[in-house]
Amino acid sequence: MQLYPHEIFKSNEILNLVTRYNRWFINLRYFAVALLMGYLISLKVIPGVVLSDFQFYTILTVMFLIFSYNILFEHLIKNLTEENNHKTLNYAFLQILQDIVALSIVVYVSGGLEAPIFMFFVFHMIIGSILLPGIIIYSIGASIIVIFSVFSFLEYQGVIPHHKIEGLFSLSLYDDLTFLIGSMFIFGVMIISSILLTRRIAAELYNREKELRTAMEELAEAEINKQKYTMAVVHELKSPIAAAHSFLDLVLGGYSGKIDEDASQLIGKSKNRITESIDNINNILRLSKFKVLNQVNHEELNLSELIARIAANYESIARRKEIDLNLDLDSFSASEFAGDPVLLQLAFSNLIGNAVKYTPDGGTVNIILKKEDKISIKIIDDGIGIPEEDQKRIFEEYYRASNAKNSNIEGTGTGLAVVKNIFEAHKGSVFIKSPSILKKNSRPGTEFKIILPVKS
């Protein structure tokens, strides 16, 4: 049976949602067991209230059963894997049904309509309306109304015994037909209205989520199209620049006649600048291919030398800000690691550049590379840090930490998302910790730790 509104949700989204609700059900049910115990003790100790043995042991048994199946569901949900995660829907459905049965028994032995706790049925209808399709939750709601009405009228007719809690209420309400009909009518309206209202609110929220997801998918598709367009444009730009490079080679080679030394130097400098432009174009093309196709070139690469070269690019900025830029890099062999030098240079440049950029004057930036079973690179600073509430989202695209947005330092929030994707494409991972070990009183600092595999 399909237990979720498939026209609104993708299966993985509803499974994640229901899994969260299942855990919430379990925690709440332990609280409910404690309340039920308090309810039972209160009825025993309140002066003048008499609870029969049948009522006492029935409620005690129900309390024990609730506690037992709660432990069972907790165990089942903890052992869910991606292969059987679909069972979380069944667990939610079964929990709601079992809770309704348990509540029905407690309500019946507590006096039926005379026990206000029957209003907890409404709570279950609200929860069920969020997770279950209309036909199922309306069927459950109608069944509760019918069963509760039948039991109440059977008590009124004397067909089944009425278990009144003696001394709790002075009035006898179950044998008042007007009160019985009125109460059941109001109860039925509350059940159906709760389901109807909750489903309408949930449907509106689900549709908003669907619209947001569609917009995100369109945005992702637009980004891919933009990268493809960039690749096409850059590739077209590369052709005339490469041709100019070849022409300059011919001129420097003397094929167009002799040139004086000054002209040769100027042409040589022009050639070098064009070479840099071609390298930049190739880097842009490679980055675009990575974003669109997740394409990574694996070449033997000395990470220590790569990181040292990148750090050297930031030495002048570090000196200007009086920042101590310290390197502690284990000796490395190119044969020990294979990766894409362009993408890794982009990733490490982003992290080292951020460390220098977000560290105030007079600070410290340490770059440490250790090679054991895996390669560990740490980039540690004593800068402005990243607030705890931002750390879980810092690798999301277009997300910037709150303190970074409030600073006068420019940024788009796209760099760290690309960094994470690059390291994951190299079978690695990146972690963040703030405050760092370099923290100072007003500067918590940040530590990025990258783990990369050693070439086997």
Q: Is 375 helix (H, G, I), strand (E, B) or coil?
A: strand
Range of lowest pLDDT (220-229, 230-239, 353-362): 230-239
Residue 130 to residue 99: CA distance in whole angstroms: 16
The answer to whether 267 and 248 have CB atoms below 8 angstroms apart is yes
Which of the pair, 62 or 331, is modelled with greater confidence?
62
* CATH of the domain spanning 299-453, picked from 3.30.70.520, 3.90.320.10, 3.40.1190.20, 3.30.565.10: 3.30.565.10
Amino acid sitting at position 211 = E
* Residue of 396, 391, 386, 455 lying closest to 426 (CA atoms): 455
Q: Which two tokens stand for residue 199?
A: 């489903």
Residue 8 to residue 199: CA distance in whole angstroms: 13
Residue 122 to residue 130: CA distance in whole angstroms: 13
Domain ranges of the chain: 11-175, 299-453
Q: For residue 365, with 0-12 CB atoms within 10 Å meaning exposed, 13-18 middle and 19 or more buried, which class applies?
A: buried
Q: For residue 31, with 0-12 CB atoms within 10 Å meaning exposed, 13-18 middle and 19 or more buried, which class applies?
A: exposed
On the question of pLDDT at 1 being above 60, the answer is no
pLDDT, tens digit, 9 for 90 and up, residues 46-78: 887 888 888 889 989 999 999 999 899 888 888
pTM: predicted TM-score of the whole model, two decimal places: 0.49
The answer to whether 120 and 103 have CB atoms below 8 angstroms apart is yes
Which of the pair, 229 or 446, is modelled with greater confidence?
446
DSSP state of 360: P
pLDDT, tens digit, 9 for 90 and up, residues 343-393: 898 889 889 988 988 898 899 999 999 988 899 999 999 988 888 888 888
